[in-house]
Structure 1
Amino acid sequence: MNAINPSAARIGDSRLGERLRRETAGEVLWTAGDRGRYATDASIYQVEPVGVLIPRTIADVEAAMAICREEGVPVLPRGGGTSQCGQTVNRALVIDCTKYLRDVVVVDPDARTARVQPGIALGALNDALKKHGLFFPVDPSTWARCTIGGMAGNNSCGSKSIRYGLMADNVLGIDALLADGSRFRFGELPDNLGGDVPAGIADLIQRLRALGAREAEEIAARFPEQLRRVGGYNLDALTPAARAAGRGNLARLLVGSEGTLAFSAAIDLKLWPVKPRKALGICQFPTFRAAMAASQHLVTLDPEAVELVDRTMIDLGRSIPIFRATIDAIVRGEPDSLLIVEFHGQEDAPLARRLDALEEMMGDLGYPGAVVRCIDPGFQAAVAEVREAGLNIMMSMKGDGKPVSFIEDCAVALPDLADYTERLNQVFERHGTKGTWYAHASVGCLHVRPVLNMKDPGDVRRMREIAEECFALVREYKGSHSGEHGDGIVRSEFNEPMFGPRIARAFEAVKDAFDPAGLLNPGRVVRPPRMDDRALFRYHPDYHADATVTPALDWSAWPGPQGGLLGAVEMCNNNGTCRKFDAGVMCPSFRATRDEQHLTRGRANTLRLALTGQLGPDALASEEVHAALSLCVSCKGCRRECPTGVDMAKMKIEAMAARARTRGVTAKDRLIATLPRWAPFAGMAPFLANARDRVPGLAALSERLLGLAAGRSLPRFRHDAFHDAELPAPDGREGEVILFPDVFNRHFEPENLRAAARVLTAAGYRVAVARPPKGARPLDDGRTLLAAGLVEEARAEAKRTLDALSAFASPVIGIEPSSLLTLRDEFPALLPGEAARALVDRALLLSEFLAREKPRLALKPIAAPAAHIHGHCHQKSFGAFPAAVAMLSLVPDLKVTPITSSCCGMAGSFGYEAEHLEVSKAMAELSLLPAVRAAPAEHLIVADGTSCRHQIADLSGRTALHSVRVLEMALA
C-alpha cells in the first residue's frame, strides 16, 4: 500500500518552499492565491495543492522529486490544466511545465518523428512543424492550449481518431523520470533486455511482462473492443499477443497513466504529412436519434471526422456574439441536430466528389437536400472554432445549473449509438434533468453532460445515481466508460465495476511496481476517493458568497448573490481558452509572462476565492487580488473571445473600486483619473505641461514620485486643443450626427477630431456636439476614473454625459475606441435603465457609422500604396475592427492589410508605468512591432487607439495615423 498520505501533505509549508527555492532554479509559488489558482482544473473539483513549482529545466524536476521523496510529499505533473475529471488537482506539489519546458527538441522529417518537451502546446508544435509539411494528428478541441505532456498523461484522442488513432498510437517513446529517481526511455524494447538496460529497470519491465502474460486472458475478456478506451492502464500493451503484433511498446503503458507512474521528461512522437485541402458537409437532421442512427452509415464514406452539434449547442451558440453568424450560416431551417462530416485530401476535385457522395447517402437515408457544403477555408475555420468551443458554449448557461462532466465521454459501438443515447436520455428524464450532447459521432464517443447544480446536495446525489445507471448501460453495450478524458477523481472508482476486480488488482500492481511509495499523483486510477465526496468539490459544503461584498456595478444579468457578481465570476469553467497559443487579443499579459496568475482563468479563480471568503476577509481589496489583476490591461478580449463571456475588464473595476474604498488611490492614479478635469488648463500652458520630457531630471523625478517610467515619453498637450464651437454647421442633407470628443484626441491629437468632422460633413451630415451647461467642463466618458476604481465619480460623469446626450435622437459618433465603447459597455453597468440602453444602440465609432449608413463620399487615391492597420483591443472585442478595415478600403487604390496582433501593451496608463514597462514592451513585441518594422517605409501604419499610436511611435519610430486621417487625405 502507499506510504505517502496526501491528506497529511503540508499545505504551504514554508520550510518546504524554502528548500525548493534553495535547491532548484525554478519559480516557487507558495501564497494562498498561488495555491488557489492551481486547486482547480476544468472539472467540478477543487483540491488545494501543497504549493507550485515552475521548473526551468528537467534538472529542476529531478531535484524537486528528490526533495518530495525525502519529505513525504506527493508530486503532481500538470500541463494546461484543462482536464475534465480532476486528474490535475491533488494535495501535492504541482509541477507546471508550460512556462519553460516547451521546446521542440528535434524533428526528423525523413523519419516523420519529433522529440518534444512536455510543456509544449499542441498548437505551437503543429505551427513549428508546418515548414516540414508535417503535423501531429491527435487533436482535442483544446489543441491551442493543451500540452503534449498532458495529452500523453490523458491518452487524448480528438476528432480525427477514426483516422489516426489515439495518443497511445502516436507516441513512440517517453523519456521518463521514475518515483525512485531513476530515468529511462520507455519505448520498443527487445524480449532480451541485455546490458543496456539498468538492473532496476530491467526488473521492473520483467515484472510488468509477467503480469501481462498472467492476465492476458482476463485482459482479452474484460477490455472493451472500442477504439476509444482510455480508462485504467493500458495493460493490453504488456501481453505476449501485443508484443508479437508490434503493439508492445512500453510507452503505451505510460500513456493514459495520468502522472501516476512517471514524469515525462521528453516525448517522442509519430508525425503525419499534412493534407492541405479540406471539405465539410454539414448534415441536418430533424431529430437527435436520426443523427445517431445515421452515424454508422456516414463513416463508410471514409471521413476524417464526424462531429455532432445538438440543438442546445445551436441555441447557445446563437446567443454568443462571436459564434452567431457561423451558427446561422451552417443551419438550414430548424434542425434538431447537425453532423459535421470532414474530408481531407491533396486536391479539391476528389473532395467535391466525396461531398457529392455524402449528399447522395443523405438522400438515401431520407434526408435529401440536407447538406450544407463548406468549401471556403475561412468558413471552415469559423465552423472549427464553433466545434472546438463546444464545451465552453455548453457552459455558457447562466445560473447555478450547468452541464456537468462525469459521464462525459462514454463510448459504444456505432450500431448501438442510437439506442444507447435514447436510453440515456430516458435516465436523465427520470432524474428530472436533460443532457447536452456534442462531439465525436464517428467513434461513438459523445460528450454528454446532464444539467445539474453542484451547489445542491440533491443534485449531487442525482449525479451519482445517473453515473451508476449510465455506466451500467455502457457495460451492457460492451462499451467504454472512459473514451477520451480519462479517470481522474470522477471515474477512477468505477474502474473496478468496469474491468472487474482482477483487472483492478492488476492496475494496483502496476502502480505499485512503478511507485511503491505513492509519490506520483496518488488516488487517481487506483485507490481513489469517492467521486461525490463534496469535500473535494469546487462548490464544497462550506462554499458561500461573502455577504459583506457589495458590487459597484450592475451584474443583474447573472443570477445569484452579490448582485450577480459571483455568478459572473463563476462563468469561468477553467477550460483555459485564454491560454491559447495563437491568441487573438486574449490574454495579452499571459502571452507576455506565461504566468497562471496573469491569465483570465487565473484572475477569475482568484476573484472567486476572494468573493467566497477563501482568501480571508476583505479579500477583494487584498494584495492577492491586486497582484493577480496588476497586469490586466482591461483589453476586453475575454469579453468576446472567452466562450462563456468572462468580462475581466469589468471585474477589475469591481476589485479596483473595493481597493479604492479600503485603501484610497495613489497620487499617480488620482492624477491620471482626473485628466479630463485638468487637461484644459494644461493646454493653456503646454510649455509647462510638457516640461517633464524636455527638462533634464524631471522624467527621473516623475518616476521616483509617481512611478511614471523615465524611459517613456508622455503624450504632449496641444495649445490648439479641439473646441466644440469650432465645428462647421452646414444644413446636412443626410441629417445630424453628434460628435463625441474624447479627452485624448481633444487635447493631444485634435487633428483627428477635425478630420472626423470634415469627413462627416463631406458625407452630407450636420455635425453637432452635445455640450454641458455654460461654464461646465466638457462631457466625459469616465474611462480614466473607472481605471482607478473611482466608480462613484465615474457614475456622476456618466450621468452628466448621458443627460446631455439624451437630449438628442441622432447617432453619437466617436473616434477613440476606449472612449466611445465605454458608452456602450460601462454606462449600462453604471446607470442601469432605459436611457443607457438606448444609448448603446446609437453610440457608434465613425467606422461603424460609415459601414452602416454607406454615405456618398467623393474620394481620390492618396500617395501611399498600402496601409497596415492595427486594431484597438476594444474594437476587436465589440466586433468593430472589420468596419475600420472597410473604412480604409474606401480609399481608391489603397491596399489595406490588417495586422494580426494582440494588445499593443500601452493600454491607457499601463505602459507609462515603470513597474509595467518591460511587460508593456513584451506585449508589443509579440506580434505588433515585428509587423510594423516589416512594413515598407512608404506604407502607412494605421491605429485608431491613441495608446496604440503612442506605443508604435515610442518603440518602433514609425508614426501611426488614425484611420479618419487617411480618409481625410482622400477627400476629393
Structure 2
Amino acid sequence: MAEGEAAPPRQSFTVAFHPRRGDRALAARLSREVDGEVLFDAASRGRYATDASIYQIEPVGVVVPRTEDAARTAIQIAVEEGVPILPRGAGSSQCGQTVGAALVVDNSKFLNAVIELDPVNRRAVVQPGIVLDRLNAILRSHRLWFPVDVSTSAQATLGGMAGNNSCGSRSIAYGNMVHNVLGIDGVLADGAEYHFGPSEALAGAPAGLRELARRLHAIVEREAGEMERRWPRVLRRVQGYNLDMLRPAAAHNLAHLLVGSEGTLAWSKRLHLKLSPLPAHRTLGVCHFASFHAAMAVPRDIVKLAPAAVELVDRTMIGLARGNSAFRATVERFIRADPEAILLVEFSGEAREEQLRKLKNLSELMADLGHPGSVIEIADPALQRDVWEVRKAGLNIMMSMKGDGKPVSFIEDCAVPLEHLSEYTKRLTDVFAKHGTEGTWYAHASVGCLHVRPILNMKADGAHKLRAIAEEACALVREYKGAYSGEHGDGLVRSEWIAPMLGARLTAALAEVKALFDPRGLMNPGKIVRPPRQDDRSLFRYRPGYGVQEMDTALDWSEYAPGRERGGAGFGAAVEMCNNNGHCRKFDAGTMCPSFRATGNERDLTRGRANTLRLAISGQLGADALTSDAMLETMDLCVGCKGCRRECPTGVDMAKMKIEFLHHYHRRHGWSMKDRLIAKLPHYAPWASRLTWFANLRDTLPGLAQASELFLGFSAA
C-alpha cells in the first residue's frame, strides 16, 4: 500500500463467498509485491476449491510464495485488503479445512526445506510445506524418523499435520502430533511474529507474547472446572483448541495451542520437531476374525502386550484391495480365506528376539480368547512393509467404489474408550441400517478411533442421511465419553459438533481464544469457531443442480456407468473417481505423476486435471470450457504413462481421459500442421529419408529453425 493511502473498508464475507474473488486489482498488487506465483484465473481457483472432503468453495485467489518473507507479505496484503487467509499444504484434508473463500497460501511448492537438523538431540526445524516421507527419507541415514506416521505420508505436509493435530497408526507408542512438536514460529494476522514454545521461556519473551499468554491462561483457569466436566479423556481428541494442555499451574508449551488450530490462529512459518530413533526390529501379526464385532472385542486385551500399533481392516476393504491390481498379490500373502475383519498388530524395538517373543504371545492370547490359529506371523521386513502399504491406502481403496454411492467422511473420526469399542460399533451399525445404508470400517483399534464411512449418494439424499446419522453418532460418542473428532480435525464437517460435545460455555471460550489471535476473523474463517452447518448443500462439491453435460464420447466409459457406454454420464463418473486424496503428489516411489514432479504445479497433477475436467463438463468454468485453450494447457503435459491408472488407489485413468479430451478439442479446433506432419510421418518417411540433406538445412541455415517453430510448431532448440 502506498504511503498515506487509506486502508480499504472492511469487507463483509462468508465462509463461501467474498466479493474480491478473482479480483484483478488484488492479483496485480500481489504480483507486484510478492515473490511468488499468483493464480487468480477461474481454472486455478477451481483446482484449489476442493480437498479430500465433500466440500467445494472457490477461493479468492492463490499465492504460491517462494520465500518465508513472501508468504508474510502476502498475508499482510490480504489483511490490509480485508481478505481472509487460508494456509494450505497438500490439500488432502478430509474435513474441509483447506477450502474457503479466502486467499490460499500454498506452502507446498517452495516452503519445504529442513532448516536445522540436530541428530544428537533428536530435533529438527522445518518449513511447513515439507512432506513427511521426504523428511523421513532425510532422517533415515541418522537412524531417526518423525513417528507421526499418517497414512497419507507420501503427500502430507508437516504444516498440514500440525494444523490437524494428526496422529497415525502408531500413536499408542509415540503420541499425536501435539506430543511431537517442540515449538512453532508463528505469524499472526496483525503481523506479529512469535516463537511459541515452552512456558519456562515466557519470562524472556516479547511483551506481546507475554500478554497473549496471560490472557490465554486466564481463560484456561476460569474454565478449569468446566473442562474437567466436559473435556474428552481419550488419547485421540483433536476437537477445538488444546486448552487442556495450557494449564498455567504446570509446565506446558504454547505451541500446543497452535497444533490442531487448522490455520485459524496463525500461519506456521517453521515447526520445531521432536525426532525418535528408528526401531531396529519389527514384527507383525495378522489376526483373522469370523465376525467384525469379535475383532472389536479384543483390542483392550491386545494393548496389554505393549504393541506399537493395532489396526483394523474390514471385509469391504479386503475385497476392494483384492480387486485392485496394485495390491492383489500382497493381499493373497497375508490374508487367509475370507475373514470378516483382521487386526494388524505390530511390535517394535531394539531386540529382535523380544519382538518375536511378543508375536508368539499374541498368538497365545488369541487362542486364549477363543481364536486359535487365527494369527499369521510376519517377521520378514519386506512383507511387513507391503502389508502396511495396503493398510495406508485403506481410505482411497474404499473410495474406488464405482457409482454415485461413496463412503463419506463425516463421522469417521470418533474415538471411544476401548472397553466400549465393540458395543459402540454394534450400535452404530444399527444406526446405518436404520437409515438404509452400511458403513465401511478401518480403525486405529489400539486407541479406539474408528474410521467408519457410511455409503451415501451426495448427489441425491446423502445430505439428509448425513445429518441424521451425525446426530445419532454424536449422541453415542457423548454417552461413551469419547471424542467426536479423534484425528482428522474439525474443518467444515465437524466444527458444528463442538458445541454439543463441549457445551456452550467452552465453545464460547474457544471463540475468545480465536479473538485474541485474530480479532477480525480473517484466519481460515468458519473452522472451529462460528462454523456453518455441515450439511449446507451450497458448500458441497455436488450441490443442488450439479450435473454433467451430455456429450457424444469417443471412448467406452461403461465401466463407470453400466449401460451408458457413450455419453457424458460415463465420462463424468470416470472423472469423479478422483476424490482429491492427493496420492499423485508422492515423490519417491512409482510413476505417478511425472509432470507434477517436474513442475510442482497443481495444474500438472492428476488431481488437478481431474478437477479441471469435472468443473468443465459440469459447466462450472463456462460454456465450451472442455474444448478451451485453458483445458489444453491443463492436459498438455500428461504424458499418457498410465501411472495413475496403476497407482492411484481409486484407479483414475488420466491417459484415457486425455484421449477423450483431445477428440473433443480437435473436433472443434481442427489439427495443426505439426499434428498432421507427425500423424502422416509413416507415409512420407521413406521419401524424406532420401532428402536428409534438405531436412538438415533447418538446423544449419540461420533463422530457419526459428521459422519452423513459428509456422510448424517444432522447437527451435
Q: 1:920 is matched with which residue? A: none
1:309 and 1:339 in contact (8 A); partners too:
yes
SS at match of 1:105: strand
Q: Distance in 2 between matches of 1:80 and 1:531?
A: 22
Task: Give the letter aligned to residue 232 of structure 1.
Answer: G
Q: 1:23 is matched with which residue? A: 33
Q: 314, 320, 323: which is aligned to 1:316?
A: 320
Q: 1:389 is matched with which residue? A: 393
SS at match of 2:45: helix
1:226 pairs with 2:230: no
Task: Show CA shifts across 1:816-857 (max 9, x none).
Answer: xxxxxxxxxxxxxxxxxxxxxxxxxxxxxxxxxxxxxxxxxx
Alignment of 1:528-927 (within 5 A): 528-547=531-550, 549-559=551-561, 562-683=568-689, 699-711=705-717
Q: Distance in 1 between matches of 2:632 and 2:189?
A: 38
Q: 392, 395, 410: which is aligned to 1:406?
A: 410
Q: Distance in 2 between matches of 1:23 and 1:130?
A: 39
Alignment of 1:316-465 (within 5 A): 316-456=320-460, 458-465=461-468
Task: Show CA shifts across 1:479-512 (max 9, x none).
Answer: 0000000100001011000001110000000001
Q: Distance in 2 between matches of 1:677 and 1:613?
A: 41
Q: Distance in 1 between matches of 2:205 and 2:156?
A: 33
Between the two structures, name the one with larger relative contact order (CA 8 Å, sep ≥ 6): 2
Task: Give the letter aligned to residue 227 of structure 1.
Answer: L
Q: 1:736 is matched with which residue? A: none
Task: Show CA shifts across 1:60-81 (max 9, x none).
Answer: 1211111111111000000110
1:515 pairs with 2:518: yes
1:279 and 1:352 in contact (8 A); partners too:
yes
**Deviates further, 64-73 or 423-432:** 64-73
Q: Distance in 2 between matches of 1:70 and 1:695?
A: 56
Q: Decide whether aligned partners of structure 1 residues 563 and 85 sit closer, same or farther in structure 2, where only a CA change above 3 A counts.
A: closer
SS at match of 2:326: helix
Q: 2:6 is matched with which residue? A: none
Q: Distance in 2 between matches of 1:520 and 1:161?
A: 29
Q: 1:200 is matched with which residue? A: 208
TM-score by length of 1: 0.71
1:232 and 1:525 in contact (8 A); partners too:
yes
1:280 and 1:341 in contact (8 A); partners too:
yes
Q: 1:150 is matched with which residue? A: 160
1:470 pairs with 2:495: no
1:100 pairs with 2:110: yes
Alignment of 1:172-187 (within 5 A): 172-187=182-197
Q: 1:867 is matched with which residue? A: none
Q: Distance in 1 between matches of 2:216 and 2:247?
A: 9
Q: Distance in 2 between matches of 1:647 and 1:285?
A: 35
Following superposition, the deviation at residue 684 of structure 1 comes to 5.6
SS at match of 2:150: coil
2:239 and 2:484 in contact (8 A); partners too:
yes
Q: 1:505 is matched with which residue? A: 508
Following superposition, the deviation at residue 347 of structure 1 comes to 3.9
**Deviates further, 557-566 or 208-217:** 557-566
Q: 278, 290, 293: which is aligned to 2:294?
A: 290
SS at match of 2:288: strand
SS at match of 1:372: strand
Q: How many percent of aligned residue pairs carry the same amino acid?
A: 59
1:9 and 1:91 in contact (8 A); partners too:
no
Following superposition, the deviation at residue 310 of structure 1 comes to 0.3
1:9 and 1:74 in contact (8 A); partners too:
no
Q: Distance in 2 between matches of 1:707 and 1:301?
A: 67
1:278 and 1:345 in contact (8 A); partners too:
yes
Following superposition, the deviation at residue 465 of structure 1 comes to 0.2
Q: Distance in 2 between matches of 1:678 and 1:388?
A: 52
Who wins on radius of gyration, i.e. which is larger? 1
Q: 1:820 is matched with which residue? A: none
Alignment of 1:221-260 (within 5 A): 221-241=229-249, 244=250, 246=251, 248-260=252-264
2:52 and 2:580 in contact (8 A); partners too:
yes
Task: Give the letter aligned to residue 558 of structure 2.
Answer: S
Residue ranges of structure 1 left out of the alignment (5+ in a row):
712-972
2:440 and 2:454 in contact (8 A); partners too:
yes
Following superposition, the deviation at residue 683 of structure 1 comes to 4.6
Q: Decide whether aligned partners of structure 1 residues 209 and 563 sit closer, same or farther in structure 2, where only a CA change above 3 A counts.
A: closer
Task: Give the letter aligned to residue 344 of structure 1.
Answer: S
Following superposition, the deviation at residue 563 of structure 1 comes to 4.5
Following superposition, the deviation at residue 434 of structure 1 comes to 0.1
TM-score by length of 2: 0.95
SS at match of 1:267: strand
Task: Give the letter aligned to residue 637 of structure 1.
Answer: G
Following superposition, the deviation at residue 691 of structure 1 comes to 6.2
Task: Give the letter aligned to residue 155 of structure 1.
Answer: N
Q: 1:776 is matched with which residue? A: none
Following superposition, the deviation at residue 167 of structure 1 comes to 0.5
Q: Distance in 1 between matches of 2:572 and 2:81?
A: 38
Task: Show CA shifts across 1:1-47 (max 9, x none).
Answer: x9863333411000000010011111001110000000000000000
Task: Give the letter aligned to residue 509 of structure 1.
Answer: E
Task: Give the letter aligned to residue 489 of structure 1.
Answer: L
Q: Distance in 1 between matches of 2:343 and 2:389?
A: 15
Following superposition, the deviation at residue 699 of structure 1 comes to 4.5
Task: Show CA shifts across 1:100-134 (max 9, x none).
Answer: 00000001111111000000001111111112211
Q: Distance in 1 between matches of 2:228 and 2:682?
A: 76
1:412 and 1:445 in contact (8 A); partners too:
yes
Q: Distance in 1 between matches of 2:19 and 2:281?
A: 52
1:298 and 1:358 in contact (8 A); partners too:
yes
Q: 222, 242, 246: which is aligned to 1:214?
A: 222
Q: 2:3 is matched with which residue? A: none
Residue ranges of structure 2 left out of the alignment (5+ in a row):
1-9
1:277 pairs with 2:281: yes
Q: Distance in 2 between matches of 1:41 and 1:4?
A: 25
Q: Distance in 2 between matches of 1:133 and 1:141?
A: 21
1:479 pairs with 2:482: yes
SS at match of 1:418: helix
Following superposition, the deviation at residue 706 of structure 1 comes to 2.6
1:4 and 1:73 in contact (8 A); partners too:
no
Task: Give the letter aligned to residue 675 of structure 2.
Answer: D
1:68 pairs with 2:78: yes
